[in-house]
């Protein structure tokens, strides 16, 4: 599932290429036809992300909410776009003043819906602070974390505690701070959380800027290749059985709350 940096990168692109102009919105697939008709021909005023959610704000006050889920994806193109290929849930075409025409197709999202202001507030109110949003309140997440007897590995994935962090950032930030994913939230110190928060902010900003996760420190960027040819190296994510890049101990794998979990038992002792 795409993590928060992907949604912020999309929001930045849509803000640059579509916001400030009237857009044409359609649903070639048909599943979003009624919603598309409600915003078609309106001014797209702003695109933003909150955690794993993308929000397109229109001058009518309506907001299109997209959650990509496991299979959702946007593809972009200069205008004119060709005929839709595959199951395109939403197509947006726009040409703000002074910019070349731009279009994007959305396929396979978990959610693509039109919301009104109270519904947007209800959505954002149930999300934790997003490390990529200006003014995000790390103390709000800390209040949830240090009072909980759930494992920190589960808490970091809980979007009501912290918005935008997924499986990769969860695994890697815990390794970088030598914290076991099984340590209870009550066992995390304020100093440890401050350091982890600052690290998440820095790592996720890199993800927005370069379009991929870069989580291994330069001095450790050696040894076995990445888990995928087009991805940077990770410390532990999807490296079960392989030697730790720092100590050589085989990386361990388990399942926590139905999600795969990876850690080094030596660098991250219980």
Write out pLDDT tens, residues 247-264.
999 999 999 999 999 999
pLDDT of residue 98: 67
Q: Which of 144, 243, 259, 265 is catalytic?
A: 259
Active site annotation includes 113: no
Low-confidence ranges of the chain (pLDDT < 50): none
Cβ-based neighbours of 197, under 8 Å, separated by 6 or more: 131, 138, 141
pLDDT of residue 229: 87
Give the three-class secondary structure for 28. Answer: coil
pLDDT of residue 100: 78
Q: Which of 52, 133, 170, 176 is catalytic?
A: 52
Percent of residues in the chain assigned helix, strand, coil, to nearest 5: 30, 25, 45
Q: Which of 3, 107, 131, 170 is catalytic?
A: 3
Pairing of the two strands 88-94 and 102-107 = antiparallel
Active site annotation includes 2: yes
């Amino acid at each position: 599932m795409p993590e928060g940096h992907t949604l912020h990168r999309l929001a930045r692109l849509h803000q640059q290429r579509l916001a400030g102009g009237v857009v044409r919105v359609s649903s070639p697939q048909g599943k979003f036809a009624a919603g598309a008709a409600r915003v078609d021909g309106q001014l797209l005023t702003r695109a933003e992300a909150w955690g794993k959610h993308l929000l397109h704000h229109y001058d009518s006050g309506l907001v299109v909410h997209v959650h990509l889920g496991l299979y959702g994806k946007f593809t972009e193109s200069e205008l004119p776009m060709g005929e839709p290929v595959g199951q395109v849930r939403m197509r947006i075409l726009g040409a703000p003043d002074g910019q070349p025409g731009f279009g994007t197709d959305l396929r396979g999202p978990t959610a693509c819906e039109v919301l009104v202001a109270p519904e947007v507030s209800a959505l954002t109110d149930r999300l934790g602070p997003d490390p990529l949003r200006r003014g995000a309140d790390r103390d709000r997440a800390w209040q949830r974390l240090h009072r909980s007897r759930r494992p920190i590995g589960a808490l970091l994935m809980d979007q009501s505690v912290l918005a935008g962090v997924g499986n990769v950032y969860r695994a890697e930030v815990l390794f970088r701070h030598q914290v076991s994913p099984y340590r209870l939230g009550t066992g995390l110190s304020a100093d440890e959380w401050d350091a982890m928060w600052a690290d998440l902010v820095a790592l996720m900003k890199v993800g927005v800027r370069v379009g991929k996760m870069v989580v291994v420190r330069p001095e450790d960027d050696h040894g076995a290749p990445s888990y995928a040819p087009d991805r940077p190296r990770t410390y532990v994510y999807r490296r079960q059985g392989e030697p730790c890049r720092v100590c050589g101990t085989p990386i361990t794998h388990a399942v926590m709350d139905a999600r795969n979990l990876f850690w080094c038992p030596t660098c991250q002792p219980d």
